[in-house]
């Protein structure tokens, strides 16, 4: 099977030099940030990364642009990261993402985030990020900013309403947590069912296959016209360690949602095995026993083209 003609990485990050200098200058980390760094390094090892460092490795914007070029990635969606309450600094600000997009307008799209606990100010910050900074979407991570519930009507519905008004997609972290210091209960994808019902015009992107609530996630995405699901990070882990399991999950997604609802994302820099995942996706097929005994349809070139880029283009040009 040939490589898809247009590839979009719908979930990527990059590091900034100021953060690396800050980390080098710290004499000690507190217990919480040390645990978070350890979890992220362990995640990188799961996909075969051989460096032990997390902050000081080659993970700048320029490094990622080279990765895009090497893997024929046409466009990437770069997501803001805060986690200031964990690391002591904002990992990737809206301004840094906007600057990257301005310098690479044909290659990058930017997703902003704000602290929902700031109420009306958060709504103003989001509007500023879209209208003034030129970003293209909103990112919600319920583990960030001290944690929150994705269906919190007082906290988040004003932000969902603003996103609907602005006509921008919302990418929502669900399923796996960024580390053991965070609470899994905030990541249940079912929390987005109310949001999809109450904001039917709002495009919701459910990240990370909702893993480990996979089947629930696929069913929910399949029943809402305004929902998509990504294979981000989970595909990287499973393709590297349990490729047969990922093939089964992909078949389930295709059966429940259809290939027009599935997006690919790398979650670079944390799961950087992009070549391995793209090579797998471009040749994956359904073995005859699965077709015969389980009624699984074959995975077509159209399916892969949808997943690797065409669906993303329908959401953001």
Q: List pLDDT tens digits, range 149-170.
A: 999 999 999 999 999 999 999 9
Q: What angle do CA 167, 214, 135 make, to 5 degrees?
A: 25
pLDDT digits (tens, 9 = 90+) for 61-105: 999 999 999 999 999 999 999 999 888 889 999 999 999 999 999
- Is 260's pLDDT higher than 90? yes
Q: What CA–CA distance (Å, rounded) separates 212 from 177?
A: 10
Q: How confident is the model at residue 118 (pLDDT cuts 50, 70, 90)?
A: very high
Encode burial over 252-291: b for 16+ CB neighbours within 10 A, e otherwise. Answer: bbbebbebebbbbbbbbbbbbbbebbbebbbebebeeebe
pLDDT band at 57 (very low <50, low <70, confident <90, very high): low
pTM (2 d.p.) = 0.94
Question: Looking at residues 119-146, what average pLDDT do you find?
Answer: 97
Q: What is 7-315's CATH number?
A: 3.20.20.140
Stretch among 53-57, 95-99, 227-231, 283-287 having the lowest mean pLDDT: 53-57
pLDDT at 226: 95
The share of the chain scoring above pLDDT 70, in percent, equals 95
Distance between terminal CA atoms of the chain? 26
Mean per-residue pLDDT for 245-271? Answer: 95
**Angle in degrees, CA 81, 82, 88, rounded to 5:** 135
Each residue's pLDDT tens digit, 200-255: 999 999 999 999 999 999 999 999 999 999 999 999 999 999 999 999 999 999 99
Q: Kindly list the domain boundaries of the chain, sorted by start residue.
A: 7-315
């Amino acid at each position: 099977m040939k490589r898809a003609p247009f590839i979009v990485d719908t979930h990527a990050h990059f590091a900034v030099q100021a953060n690396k200098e800050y980390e080098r200058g710290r004499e000690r980390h507190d217990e919480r940030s040390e645990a978070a760094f350890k979890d992220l390094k362990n995640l990188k090892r799961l996909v075969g990364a051989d460096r032990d460092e997390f902050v000081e490795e080659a993970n700048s914007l320029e490094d990622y642009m080279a990765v895009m070029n090497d893997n024929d990635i046409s466009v990437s969606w770069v997501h803001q990261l805060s986690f200031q309450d964990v690391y002591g600094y904002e990992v990737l600000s809206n301004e840094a993402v906007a600057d990257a997009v301005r310098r690479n307008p044909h290659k990058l799209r930017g997703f902003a985030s704000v602290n929902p606990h700031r109420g009306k100010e958060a709504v103003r910050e989001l509007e500023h990020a879209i209208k003034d900074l030129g970003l293209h979407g909103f990112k919600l991570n319920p583990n960030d900013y001290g944690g929150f519930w994705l269906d919190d009507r007082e906290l988040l519905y004003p932000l969902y309403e603003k996103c609907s008004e602005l006509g921008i997609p919302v990418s929502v972290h669900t399923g796996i947590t960024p580390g053991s210091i965070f609470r899994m209960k905030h990541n249940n994808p079912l929390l987005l069912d109310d949001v999809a019902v109450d904001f039917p015009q709002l495009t919701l992107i459910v990240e990370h296959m909702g893993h480990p609530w996979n089947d629930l996630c696929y069913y929910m995405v399949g029943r809402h016209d305004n929902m998509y699901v990504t294979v981000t990070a989970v595909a990287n882990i499973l393709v590297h360690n349990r490729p047969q399991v990922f093939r089964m999950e992909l078949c389930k997604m295709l059966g429940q949602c259809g290939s027009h609802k599935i997006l690919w994302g790398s979650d670079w820099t944390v799961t950087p095995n992009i070549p391995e995942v793209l090579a797998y996706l471009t040749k994956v097929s359904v073995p005859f026993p699965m077709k015969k005994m389980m009624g699984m349809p074959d995975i077509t070139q159209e399916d892969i083209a949808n997943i690797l880029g065409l669906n993303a283009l329908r959401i953001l040009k």
